[in-house]
Amino acid sequence: MKVPTPTVIICPGNGCSNIRQSNWYGIIYEKLIEKNIPCICKDFPDPLHARRDRWVPFMRSVAEESSPGDPSNVILVGHSSGAQAALRYTELYPVHGVVLVSATYSDLGDAHERMSGYYPQGDTNPYLFQDMLTNCKRECWYQFHSDDDPFIPLYEAEKIRDGLGLSSTYNMLSGRSHFFDYFDELETVIDVLISED
């Protein structure tokens, strides 16, 4: 029996109250739908604060609704705060694949980001990278970062890369800022993940 095509779930950055009109989310949604790849691009609750205790359960409900027979048959595409949510989601639940765009390791000393609940604080709230890799095999993780991101220094992304043990699926693309604009490489890696068994 043919395995259903994984559903792509777009996990936005914070501050997006209409995600189809924000950044590249609506563009990639339309491109995937045109290719008959199921995609969910809907507004997240608590868009300003993007709190972990609201976003991760919401993502789980979206996965269960979009793929009721197998909620693991999803690909999470997370940008900025959405990347943090994707990391924490996969500590708990299996997924088909993950694409991280502009992910950070720490809250960078920002109190608002700290309140979201994603980031390690000293010895508390550590990232459970091994659980993430148990729930999504290493070759199905992709990461994008830019060397001129105005918010997240490159070394922050590299700590995520190293925690996951990524090499060939880590992509440092020069001059892309915080990836506010659509980039073709995103569609390419989603196509690769769709074809993964």
Per the residue annotation, which of 80, 81, 102, 116 is the catalytic one? 80
Does residue 67 have an active-site annotation? Answer: no
178 carries an active-site annotation:
yes
* Dist. CA 101–CA 62, nearest whole Å: 20
> CA–CA separation, 137 vs 90, rounded Å?
11
Q: Is 195 a catalytic residue?
A: no
The answer to whether 95 and 89 have CB atoms below 8 angstroms apart is: yes
Amino acid residing at 18 = N
Other beta carbons within 10 angstroms of residue 10's beta carbon come to 27
Give the active site residue among 79, 96, 145, 178: 178
Q: Which amino acid is at 121?
A: Q
Q: Which of 67, 102, 146, 149 is catalytic?
A: 149
Dump the DSSP string for 139-151. GGEEEEE-TT-SS
Q: What are the catalytic residues?
A: 80, 149, 178
